[in-house]
Amino acid sequence: MTRLPIRIYGDPILRKKAKPVRKIDDQLPELIEGMIEAMVEDDGVGLAAPQVGQSIRLIVVKTGSEENGEIVSLINPHVVAASGTQDGMEGCLSLPTLRGKVQRHQQVTVQGIVPDGSEVSLEAEGQVARAFEHEIDHLNGVLFVDRAPADTLCWLIPDPDEECGYRLEATSMKEAKRVFKRLRSKQQAEGKPI
């Protein structure tokens, strides 16, 4: 399968409400496989179908650690219960290297359909709960920058002098939009979908 390109901020599909999946057809497993591949290659913890140009209600989320690599694929997912709160920095593969502080629920229960057609209910907490909420937001055309206070937006900059290998540099949404517009122009020049 050809590597699925991830759509960048400014692509209209990222702001559309995705359509429910009415039928699990033969193409869905291939799309799921491509989404997982793109997510893993770009070191993400989740990915929604609109991020790869498909306006359908489908997400993949890494629920395990790096070692066990458990990944869940959910069709038509929705949060049915949530409790507690957590604040934390978030990023997004569609807004590369941009970070912002977002408040999410500490625990969530998510229902959806797995690729074999079975309905499931999953409980998640902490970072995994955050990932589910983030990806379900994508299905509704909501991005993490819509939830992050403007004064928390920053770039993740590689820096070998820092202990963790990077530093954070404050930015504005106006500047981020300019950067992503340039990135989309570059992708278009390379013949990639924007």
Strands (E), the chain: 46-48, 58-62, 71-83, 86-92, 95-104, 107-113, 119-125, 154-158, 166-170
Which residues have a catalytic role annotated?
Answer: 135
Q: 């997912």: which residue's tokens?
A: 77
Spatial separation of the C-alpha atoms in residues 193 and 164, rounded to whole Å? 34
Query: DSSP labels for 109-120?
Result: EEEEE-TTS-EE
Spatial separation of the C-alpha atoms in residues 50 and 61, rounded to whole Å? 14
Q: Whole-angstrom distance between the N-terminal and C-terminal Cα of the chain? A: 19
Task: Give the three-state DSSP class for 76.
Answer: strand
- What are 74's strand-pairing partners? 59
Residue 123 exposed, middle or buried by CB count within 10 Å (0-12, 13-18, 19+) = exposed
Q: 């690729």: which residue's tokens?
A: 115
